[in-house]
Structure 1
Amino acid sequence: MEPAVSDVQPRPANANSEASGNGASDDLFRNAPIPILVEDWSGIQQRLSSLKKAGVVDLDGYFEENPGLIDELRDLHGFVDANDATLALFDAASKEVFFAHARKLLPADRFSNSQVLRAMFDGLASCQGERTLTSLAGRKVPIVWRCALPDDAERYGRLHFYAFDVTEHKENTRRLEALRAEMAHTARVSMAGQLVASITHEIGQPLAAIRTGIDAAIRWLSRSQPNVDEALATLLNATRWADDTSEICRRLRSFLGGAPIEAQSLDCDEVVDSVLTLVSSEANANNILLHKNVERGATAFADRIHVQQILTNLVINSIHAILAANGDEAGSVEIRAMAFSMTHTVFEVVDSGGGIKAANPDDVCQPFLSTKREGMGLGLALCKSIVESHGGKIWVASTGATGTSISFTLLRSDHSAANTDRIRYSNPA
């Protein structure tokens, strides 16, 4: 199937063909389901042996220096026999038709032919290659061919080349590559969607607070006796929330890109106060009381904006849980912070809602798993990623008909962060 001299007139099968053997052997060869082409490479083997004896070591280099050797080897090759599967592969009606068109059907292929020549020259036990042929009907037939090389030089007169039609395999490979490309595209779109959804989720609350602040400032200024001081204070708060929104976007981009955490020593009391200010308008609008319970002197070593994001997410989730369970009835959310161990501080958000309706409450931190009908399932997943990137853990401490408590830990100080690779030290803002 892989003659080195396929562009010379083939030798017709005759008394040297497989037909000269016994009938059973001939039938096995003739009816074999795999295309088998028997070729005579004895003259080529002798020529290659003479080159080795003459001191040739680099066959490829020798071919480059002696391009006429290829034509010489072609003249030493001949076809012996072909089975029915080979004829079918090339759409040949008979062996005579096949051999008459062998020059067209098996054109010389320097790369593929060299697989046989090099294996013979190096004394290998077998060789194989791949090429695409054209049948008499014009079909393109990609094949993989293989041949066992004998130890006895005399047996090179009947080398058996086995061909495997890999058309279906090639088509499946192309379909698989197309599917992989489509999956990669879908993954990129999905990732972009996740990023957009995450950013939208995180900046929704500060944007709402900004709008509330601006509306309040307008009311202060629209009075018959404008209260400029109150309006100015409200606008200053809105400005700070706008800065926080920009910072959230920047930190999210850095976090998703694997940038180190910009950690600093935080006063837990101050961080909790900033969160309560941020969510107070929504809590007040829904008749929900906010409480703070922070241990005196409690500190954390973390990124301030990230901690604010986590607590804001948890409090907003608690507010929604209370509304879903209690409707217009009053509810409460408490934020706690205290020492958890010698190295960590624990934050807790406790609400009076109806609990988490999930088989495994800790699963709510998995991406795109939400207990809310219209939830995207990104808030708690992002909280989990941020907490773990700070060297902490987050878990559902308790849940039930009377409410839920979610806790997370953060390092207490920069000394505790010595072994946390992703945390980068920075001066307090």
Structure 2
Amino acid sequence: MKNYEERHQKLAFGGTAILVAGTVFAVDTLTDIEGAIAVLYVVALMLAAQVVGRRGLVSLTILLVFLALLSLFLTHGLTTDYQTILRVAVAIAALFVTSALLLRADRARLELVQTNSALRESESRYRSIFDNTNVALWERDYSKVRAHLMELKAKGLDDVKRHAQAHPDFIRECFAMIDIVDANQAAFELIGKSAYSAPGGFFDRFLPKNSDTFAKILQTIVDGDSLVEADADIVRDDGERRTVIFNISFPNEASAYNRVILSMVDVTQREEARKALADAQADLAFASKAATIGVLYASLAHELNQPLGAIGVNAQTLTRWLDRTPPDVEAAKRSADRIVRDSRRASDIIKNNRVDHTSAPRETESIEVGALVSETLSLMEHDLQREHTDVKVVQRAELPEITGVRVELQQVLINLISNAAQANTAASVDQRLVTILLDAADDGDEVSISVRDSGSGLCLEAEQKIFTPFFTTKSNGMGLGLSISRSAVEAVGGTLEGLNHPEGGALFEIRLPKGTASA
């Protein structure tokens, strides 16, 4: 129907324009009227402008100018007076001016159409986003409450919270002035039906009465700020409490306060997950403390096993020397000295473990490597005899002194030598030999201590995990010795590596820098 009406209007305007142009041409050509008849071509041009486009308008202007000139030629020939030429010139000028104005009006009309089209498209996009986003959105009218607050501000209001304390009904009255203009589907899903119709813009209905959020929003309006963000607990229509983050963006112009956007994001699951994470972290911290204590006890048990075992052996030996007739006092005294030595060693181990788990400084000293190895072998005398193991010490170069904690480095050597002796026993080799090789780098800045056994070497899994805590290949092992040893060596800037020797057996090599400082 609409297209039919437009077509009918175009035919009417076009036919009328042709009729007017033909009439003007006939009157101007066939009559003796002396006047600017050709000026009336402007009427035909204006009528045709409703039908033709910009190019058609230009073409029609040229055609009408041609008709005016043709009429002049047919009526006056080549001998034309000045007044007649002037009248035709005025008519032609009127046609060009009218055409220019019509073209300008058409351009303005097209620009207006494009602007309106872009505005409708923008409104459509906004409405699509507003309706389909998963964020709860409201359009709310704050114009009345803003006007009320501005009146109070003019009277001296500057602190909304203090004013509300003096006037308990102030905030409730303010939010009763807020109306909901529109709300999207996400708002309905978050709140319920009240999202569209709650009085006071739903704040009075859904937020706790003692919340400072009310005062914060009103203070933002009084101060002329543009953004309010806050966390809040709201109550749905069904009574379920939800945790949300809401955002209100106020415009700069007072006239735009009739459509202010408020958004809400439901973060209930995030808050529940955050709480669950905090609880899990607390449980993990407790478990970590328990595990740390367990590892500490296991480490102490492992480290104290050797000196306590040596004390037991020396105590038995002491008893045997005293049970002789007559008692061998000198031998008993030597056993007692060894008991004292090993008890001091146990005390030092406990002391160093305490230092490792506190901020107290560690006591370091200058250590001669050859003497350190000799003292360690002296401590292990009974263990090596029990394993029927011989130890061969080879020193290839002059060794510089190192700096470290003596008891820790002794314990590292005890672990390596004990493991080597036990590897020999497990392999059932004829010659149970542990070789200790002492060497120094060419520049003298590094010392190496290698401990090699004559056993069957490391399996593939052991090569990969040998320094992993609690990994062990022994049926009665704890899997802490090598892990503790590597930590002790690295604490003084050294390295500890384990591998299979090309000629058989396992090889563990300690590399220590000269004069290294305590960790």
User: 1:362·1:396 contact (CA, 8 Å) conserved in 2?
Assistant: no
- Check if 1:399 corresponds to 2:509: no
Q: 1:403 to 1:53 in 2, by over 3 A?
A: farther
CA distance in 1, matches of 2:353, 2:232: 51
Contiguous gaps of at least 5 residues in structure 2: 1-122
For CA contacts below 8 A with separation 6 or more, give which structure has more relative contact order. Answer: 1
CA distance in 1, matches of 2:499, 2:129: 74
User: For residue 38 of structure 1, what is the aligned residue in structure 2?
Assistant: 139
What amino acid does structure 1 have at the position aligned with 2:271? K
CA distance in 2, matches of 1:114, 1:156: 18
Question: C-alpha offsets along residues 35-83 of structure 1, whole Å, 9 cap, x if unaligned?
Answer: 3333221133345556777898x65687589767646644543344444
Q: 1:149 to 1:275 in 2, by over 3 A?
A: same
User: For residue 190 of structure 2, what is the aligned residue in structure 1?
Assistant: 89
- Within a 5 Å distance, the mapping from 1:250-265 to structure 2 comes to 250-265=351-366
What amino acid does structure 2 have at the position aligned with 1:318? A
User: For residue 308 of structure 1, what is the aligned residue in structure 2?
Assistant: 410
CA distance in 2, matches of 1:90, 1:159: 19
Per the TM alignment, residue 33 of structure 1 is displaced from its structure 2 partner at its CA by 4.6
- Check if 1:247 corresponds to 2:337: no
SS of alignment partner, residue 433 of structure 2: strand
Alignment counterpart, residue 490 of structure 2, candidates 388, 401, 417:
388
Question: C-alpha offsets along residues 136-184 of structure 1, whole Å, 9 cap, x if unaligned?
Answer: 4322121111233223322211223222222222222222222222222
Question: C-alpha offsets along residues 331-381 of structure 1, whole Å, 9 cap, x if unaligned?
Answer: 111233343342332222121122222368475234344444554332222
Structure 1 window deviating more from structure 2 (46-55 vs 372-381): it is 46-55
Please provide the CA RMSD for this pair: 3.5
- Within a 5 Å distance, the mapping from 1:267-346 to structure 2 comes to 267-294=368-395, 299-324=401-426, 326-327=427-428, 329-340=430-441, 341-346=443-448
SS of alignment partner, residue 262 of structure 1: coil
Per the TM alignment, residue 223 of structure 1 is displaced from its structure 2 partner at its CA by 2.4
Contiguous gaps of at least 5 residues in structure 1: 1-21, 424-429
CA distance in 1, matches of 2:127, 2:392: 94
Per the TM alignment, residue 261 of structure 1 is displaced from its structure 2 partner at its CA by 3.5
Alignment counterpart, residue 141 of structure 1, candidates 242, 256, 275:
242
Per the TM alignment, residue 23 of structure 1 is displaced from its structure 2 partner at its CA by 11
**Greater share of strand:** 1
Q: 1:343 to 1:55 in 2, by over 3 A?
A: farther
Q: How does the TM-score come out when normalised to structure 2?
A: 0.66
SS of alignment partner, residue 365 of structure 1: coil
CA distance in 1, matches of 2:208, 2:403: 73
- Check if 1:179 corresponds to 2:249: no
Structure 1 window deviating more from structure 2 (204-213 vs 117-126): it is 117-126
What amino acid does structure 2 have at the position aligned with 1:143? V
User: 1:333·1:351 contact (CA, 8 Å) conserved in 2?
Assistant: yes
User: 2:501·2:507 contact (CA, 8 Å) conserved in 1?
Assistant: yes
Alignment counterpart, residue 453 of structure 2, candidates 351, 359, 384:
351
CA distance in 1, matches of 2:455, 2:216: 74
Alignment counterpart, residue 271 of structure 2, candidates 164, 170, 191:
170
Larger Rg: 2
User: For residue 232 of structure 2, what is the aligned residue in structure 1?
Assistant: 131
- Within a 5 Å distance, the mapping from 1:347-386 to structure 2 comes to 347-358=449-460, 361=463, 363-372=465-474, 374-386=476-488
User: 1:287·1:328 contact (CA, 8 Å) conserved in 2?
Assistant: no
Q: 1:348 to 1:113 in 2, by over 3 A?
A: same
CA distance in 2, matches of 1:336, 1:94: 83
What amino acid does structure 2 have at the position aligned with 1:209? A
User: For residue 151 of structure 1, what is the aligned residue in structure 2?
Assistant: 252
Q: How does the TM-score come out when normalised to structure 1?
A: 0.78
Structure 1 window deviating more from structure 2 (372-381 vs 169-178): it is 372-381
Per the TM alignment, residue 202 of structure 1 is displaced from its structure 2 partner at its CA by 1.0
CA distance in 1, matches of 2:312, 2:457: 31
SS of alignment partner, residue 137 of structure 1: coil
**Greater share of helix:** 2
Question: C-alpha offsets along residues 230-281 of structure 1, whole Å, 9 cap, x if unaligned?
Answer: 1121121011101100101111221243544322122333322221122222
CA distance in 2, matches of 1:248, 1:24: 75
Q: 1:161 to 1:218 in 2, by over 3 A?
A: same
- Check if 1:112 corresponds to 2:213: yes
What amino acid does structure 2 have at the position aligned with 1:190? A
